[in-house]
Structure 1
Amino acid sequence: MILMEHIVREGHPVLRTRAEELIFPLSEVDRELSEDLMGYVINSQDAELSEKFGLRPGIGLAAPQLGKSKRIFALHITDVDQEATSFIAINPKIASHSIEKTYLSSGEGCLSVDRDVEGYVPRYARITIKAFDLQGNEFKKRLKGIAAIAFQHELDHLNGIMFFDHIDKEVPFKDIPGATPFERD
């Protein structure tokens, strides 16, 4: 079981490195890593487990956050329409995106960042993604709202980018042209 002590924090070089693509069939190590990533996000959202093990709640976790430079992440969230979005993405890509932007009005956070970083993080409002599942089958999904924001946040981790890199350093709450703020429940 992944605990907070296993998650690397900002300043660790792996968080600034472009992660390596995986080759199929997956090794047992990569399969276990994928399942561990999903296990953490599910467990961290369970109030009892979160308190018992001191887990910070998260909706996504990428392999680089565990010190592994591999293109894998897991998402487990409930979006605006109360539909569960839960999947492991291997070698993920954004196939297309909207012109319209969005951002979390409360700002983004990250399990690898132990401080509050204020400011708007511009993201595409809607995206179509492609990725592979554990068996090597390619899948395609259309995401919007918090699911689209979370996917982009985790994809950034695979590219060595931190969420605060997108925040305007001079004016953190600067208006983002063409963007609609997303209010998270």
Structure 2
Amino acid sequence: MSKLSIVAEPSPILRLISTEVPIQKIGSKKIQDLIRDMSETLRGIEVGIGLAAPQVGENLRIFLASEEALVINRDEKKVDVEKYKESKASRNWKHFVFINPKLLKKSKNKKRLVEGCLSVNDPSGEIIYGKVDRFEKISVEAYNEHGKKFKVGAKGLFAQVLQHEMDHLDGILFIDKAKEIRKIPREEVNL
């Protein structure tokens, strides 16, 4: 088992439109190993609930989203990072795998939400955040790690994560869309 390194801006791979995975290759050792390694990598990250293949140096239309995004309460004003780390370490969150995702539907309404990114860092150690307008509800079609096509509806933080990760597959970073970009000391992280 290997933990993959996170690719950071300004790496050119983060700006490429990712290549679709041929359906017949989803079961291949290469793709299955990548999914496993991405999942292990995501589990090892203190504050992270999604990971796209370009973020680990692979130009493929694959991303993972943690079920954690379905349970985090975004209404809290501040997250206790130490408590969050303990919670994250003690739970074995399922990672939903999205291969060749397509946005099927989106709500008319958007909401301006705070976002950060594992691939966008400040050399000082502070975390870069900004507010991004995201659709409140979406519907996505993709293939899972077994090559089975599925559709999922998402709202709230889960919808935000899916949109953020799909942007990665199109070479878009949250800082390209964000308003009010700022740096926050790590101990004041808001999810």
TM bin (shorter chain): 0.7 to 0.9
Q: Does the alignment pair 1:57 with 2:47?
A: yes
Distance in 1, matches of 2:40 and 2:20, equals 22
Offset of residue 120 of structure 1: 1.2
Distance in 2, matches of 1:69 and 1:20, equals 6
Kept in 1: contact 2:49–2:68 (CA 8 A): no
Distance in 1, matches of 2:95 and 2:112, equals 21
C-alpha root-mean-square deviation of aligned residues, in Å? Answer: 2.2
Give the direction of change, closer, same or farther, for the CA distance of 1:137–1:153 in structure 2 (3 Å limit): same
Give the structure-1-normalised TM-score: 0.77
Offset of residue 40 of structure 1: 2.0
One-letter code aligned to 1:114? N
Q: How does 1:87-98 map to 2 (within 5 A)?
A: 87-98=96-107
Kept in 2: contact 1:56–1:111 (CA 8 A): no
Kept in 1: contact 2:61–2:169 (CA 8 A): yes
Kept in 2: contact 1:102–1:125 (CA 8 A): yes
1:114 to 115, 121, 124: 121
Count of aligned residue pairs for this structure pair: 157
Give the structure-2-normalised TM-score: 0.74
Distance in 2, matches of 1:146 and 1:135, equals 25
For residues 41-96 of structure 1, what are the alpha-carbon distances to aligned partners after superposition, in whole Å with 9 as ceiling and x for unaligned?
2x23xxxxxxxxxx4421000100111100000011334667x7731000011100
User: Which residue is 1:7 aligned to?
Assistant: 6
Kept in 1: contact 2:141–2:149 (CA 8 A): yes
Distance in 1, matches of 2:129 and 2:147, equals 38
2:95 to 68, 86, 89: 86
Unaligned runs of 5+ in 1: 45-54, 174-183
User: Which residue is 1:179 aligned to?
Assistant: none
Distance in 1, matches of 2:40 and 2:18, equals 21
Give the direction of change, closer, same or farther, for the CA distance of 1:131–1:19 in structure 2 (3 Å limit): same
User: Which residue is 1:34 aligned to?
Assistant: 35
% identical aligned pairs: 37
Distance in 2, matches of 1:103 and 1:9, equals 24
More deviation, 129-138/8-17? 129-138
More deviation, 107-116/93-102? 107-116
For residues 118-137 of structure 1, what are the alpha-carbon distances to aligned partners after superposition, in whole Å with 9 as ceiling and x for unaligned?
43111100000100012211
Unaligned runs of 5+ in 2: 73-92, 182-189
Offset of residue 146 of structure 1: 0.5
Kept in 1: contact 2:65–2:97 (CA 8 A): yes
Distance in 2, matches of 1:119 and 1:156, equals 15
Distance in 2, matches of 1:130 and 1:8, equals 26
